[in-house]
């Protein structure tokens, strides 16, 4: 993994990291560089400190400490010597570079009329190494298709942070765009036009508007765009058949998703939540689920063997709920949001997927 980001890092730092054990280098997920403080890496799922000889330890004493000069060089490399051209990125707090890697920044913020305008005196960097895993969505895709419309059903994907939500929807976007439906019932279906609204530049990892991940041949990306606005722009301008958005949860997102569903567009969205009940309890999601905006739910969890994917059929749950409310069981009014136990479980993919 190290070689993927080596070109971003000053040579002194690369040298230190290259002295780590090979296995740790391969499992590298994050490199956390803090000005004059111990160098930390996330590798093989755990946090550890790196000494200048490359040995790993839980103890920050004796760890390699990147100097101020080194941090400056790092910043220069990441911004192509042009911090002034990165104002938008500094406002958001991270820079996406070629290859989809993402560098989170921390430092002293500059305010303008009470709003953050950027970061000055950057003292902390978090290099998150992106890895694109093809095929994680393949096995569960047949359960997500909408047979009558020959496309994917509107789907809500939930999972706690770092469980592989973004990797999953990226792969989903790619599969739909290429028309790899993986199902005998979908034989001969072509791919669908996919629109990705990528507010945090994570799904497609665009650099200057061009996706650096393969997101499929029929895919358009609205990069760094607020989700709600982006969805409306996409519908107006790019006529997508499937809209893909990351991390919904605000009120304006609800309105935009409603609008998209009304326009006949399938929406595939992710939300932060550990359990299905947690997701269903969030006000914005609750409303959408009650209205039946989503036909499928997916719960993602990383396990030792790989990514565990649970698919929930919400349309059946909704039907059951309406019968329940029909028989005057008022307490079951919200049961659309808490359907029965998942119907199917599939396993696929890489356990280290970001």
Q: Looking at beta carbons only, is 90 or 254 nearer to other proteins?
A: 90
- 187-201 core/surface letters (b: 16 or more CB in 10 A; e: else): eebebbbbbbbbbbb
Q: Looking at beta carbons only, is 73 or 334 nearer to other proteins?
A: 73
Question: Sign (positive/negative) of CA torsion 141, 144, 150, 151?
Answer: negative
**What is residue 123's DSSP assignment?**
E
Interacting positions 199-238 with other proteins (CB under 8 A) = none
Interacting positions 77-136 with other proteins (CB under 8 A) = 77, 79-85, 87, 90, 110, 117-118, 120
- Three-class DSSP category at 132: coil
Rounded to the nearest whole angstrom, what is the least distance from the CB of residue 37 to other proteins in the complex? 21
Distances (CA, A) of 127 to 59, 172, 237, 266: 21, 25, 34, 34
Per CB under 8 A, 15 contacts other proteins: no
Q: Which stretch binds other proteins (CB under 8 A): 67-75, 136-144, 308-316, 323-331?
A: 67-75
Rounded to the nearest whole angstrom, what is the least distance from the CB of residue 16 to other proteins in the complex? 14
Per CB under 8 A, 319 contacts other proteins: no
Sheet of 102-112, strands arranged across: 56-57, 46-50, 40-43, 28-34, 115-128, 102-112, 94-96
What lies within 8 Å, CB to CB, of 312 at 6+ separation is 276, 296, 297, 298, 299, 339, 342, 343
Element holding 348 (H helix, E strand): strand 344-348
Q: Which of 36, 45, 69, 351 binds other proteins (CB under 8 A)?
A: 69
Rounded to the nearest whole angstrom, what is the least distance from the CB of residue 98 to other proteins in the complex? 14
Q: Which stretch binds other proteins (CB under 8 A): 73-81, 96-104, 150-158, 303-311?
A: 73-81
Q: Looking at beta carbons only, is 99 or 107 nearer to other proteins?
A: 107
Asked if residues 43 and 128 have their Cβ atoms less than 8 Å apart, the reply is: no
Q: Looking at beta carbons only, is 8 or 130 nearer to other proteins?
A: 8
Task: Establish how many alpha carbons lie within 13 A of residue 168's alpha carbon, considering only the half-sphere containing its beta carbon.
Answer: 35
Structure tokens at 248: 């919904």
Q: Which stretch binds other proteins (CB under 8 A): 69-77, 166-174, 247-255, 306-314?
A: 69-77
Rounded to the nearest whole angstrom, what is the least distance from the CB of residue 271 to other proteins in the complex? 34
* Residue with token string 């929930």: 312
Q: Looking at beta carbons only, is 69 or 251 nearer to other proteins?
A: 69
Convert residues 238-257 into a mask of x (bound to other proteins by CB under 8 A) and - (unbound): --------------------
Alpha-carbon dihedral 106, 111, 116, 120, rounded to 10 degrees = -30
Q: Looking at beta carbons only, is 90 or 244 nearer to other proteins?
A: 90
Asked if residues 298 and 167 have their Cβ atoms less than 8 Å apart, the reply is: no
Q: Looking at beta carbons only, is 118 or 354 nearer to other proteins?
A: 118
Q: Looking at beta carbons only, is 85 or 344 nearer to other proteins?
A: 85
The size of the interface with other proteins (CB under 8 A), counted in residues, is: 21
- CA 26 to CA 18: how far, in whole Å? 11
* Binding interface with other proteins (CB under 8 A): 10-11, 69, 72-73, 75-77, 79-85, 87, 90, 110, 117-118, 120
């Amino acid at each position: 993994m190290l070689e993927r980001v080596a070109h971003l890092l000053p040579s002194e730092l690369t040298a230190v990291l290259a002295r780590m054990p090979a296995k740790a280098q391969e499992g590298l997920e994050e490199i956390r560089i803090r000005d004059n403080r111990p160098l930390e890496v996330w590798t093989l799922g755990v946090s550890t400190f790196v000494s200048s000889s490359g040995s790993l330890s839980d103890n920050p004493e004796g760890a390699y400490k990147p100097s101020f000069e080194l941090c400056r060089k790092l910043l220069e490399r990441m911004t192509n010597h042009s911090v002034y051209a990165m104002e938008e990125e500094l406002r958001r707090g991270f820079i996406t570079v070629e290859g989809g890697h993402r560098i989170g920044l921390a430092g002293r913020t500059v305010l303008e009329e009470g709003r953050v305008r950027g970061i000055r005196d950057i003292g902390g960097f978090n290099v998150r190494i992106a890895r694109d895993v093809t095929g994680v969505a393949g096995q569960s895709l047949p359960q997500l298709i909408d047979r009558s419309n020959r496309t994917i059903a509107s789907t809500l994907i939930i999972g706690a942070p770092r469980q592989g939500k973004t990797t999953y929807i990226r792969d989903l976007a790619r599969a739909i765009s290429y028309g790899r439906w993986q199902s005998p019932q979908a034989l001969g279906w072509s791919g669908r036009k996919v629109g990705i609204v990528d507010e945090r530049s994570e799904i497609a990892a665009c650099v200057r508007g061009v996706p650096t991940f393969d997101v499929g041949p029929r895919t358009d990306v609205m990069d760094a765009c607020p989700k709600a606005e982006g969805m409306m722009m996409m519908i107006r301008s790019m006529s997508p058949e499937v809209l893909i958005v990351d991390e919904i949860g605000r009120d304006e997102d609800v309105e935009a998703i409603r609008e998209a569903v009304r326009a006949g567009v399938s929406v595939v969205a992710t939300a932060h939540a550990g359990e299905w009940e947690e997701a269903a309890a969030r006000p914005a999601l609750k409303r959408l689920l009650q209205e039946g905006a989503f036909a499928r739910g997916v719960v993602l969890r990383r396990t030792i063997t790989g990514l565990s994917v649970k698919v929930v059929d919400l349309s059946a749950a909704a039907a059951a709920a309406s019968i329940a409310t029909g028989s005057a069981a008022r307490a079951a009014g919200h049961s659309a949001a808490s359907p029965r136990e998942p119907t199917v479980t599939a396993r696929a993919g890489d356990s280290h997927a970001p």
